[in-house]
Amino acid sequence: MRKIIGILLIAMALLTLEVGSVSNFREASMEREVIVGYGDPFIDVSCETHVICCHQIGVITVKNNLDEPIEVYLLRKRCHCTQRTYIGTIEPGHSENIYVLPGNYTIQAEWNSGGAKINVTCPCIRREHHD
């Protein structure tokens, strides 16, 4: 009788241990503020304008300081619609240069847990005329 009770207690303990170890991770939610532009930004966007062979060209640099990859798009308003161009994936700690004409643009960054839209202006360089 003691053996049967002992076996039943061991079986119940094993069953309890097995049921207690079953778990499912179904959902997680987290929010954090994304800093862009100044100080120590998570996504840094800047533009420099250069004159190459008498033509002005803007170089928008997008740097990913997040701890996950981001998908980057370039948005520019043309007429009555917005043109959206896929730039690519930027890995953490890396940057990408986008060559554009001077003007106003929006960088759209998307990642697994969020996204951001960052406005950037690539100004025209005024040329001084010398007589």
Between 59 and 40, the more confident residue is 59
Residue 84 CB coordination number (10 Å)? 11
Q: How far is CA 41 from the centre of its chain?
A: 12
Q: How confident is the model at residue 85 (pLDDT cuts 50, 70, 90)?
A: very high
Mean pLDDT value across residues 88-114: 92
Q: How confident is the model at residue 16 (pLDDT cuts 50, 70, 90)?
A: low
> How high is the pLDDT of residue 92?
92
Strand ordering across the sheet containing 81-90: 81-90, 70-78, 103-111, 114-122
Taking alpha carbons only, the member of 116, 118, 119, 105 closest to residue 75 is 105
Tokens of 68: 């996950």
> How high is the pLDDT of residue 17?
45
Instruction: Indicate the domain borders of the chain.
Output: 43-122
Strand ordering across the sheet containing 95-100: 43-52, 55-64, 95-100
Contacts of 122 (CB under 8 A, 6+ apart): 47, 48, 49, 58, 59, 60, 100, 101, 102, 103, 104, 105
State the residue for tokens 């950037």.
120
CATH topology of domain 43-122: Immunoglobulin-like (2.60.40)
Q: How confident is the model at residue 53 (pLDDT cuts 50, 70, 90)?
A: confident
> How high is the pLDDT of residue 24?
41
> How high is the pLDDT of residue 98?
93
> What is the reported pTM?
0.64
Mean pLDDT value across residues 9-14: 68
> How high is the pLDDT of residue 20?
38
Tokens of 128: 């001084």
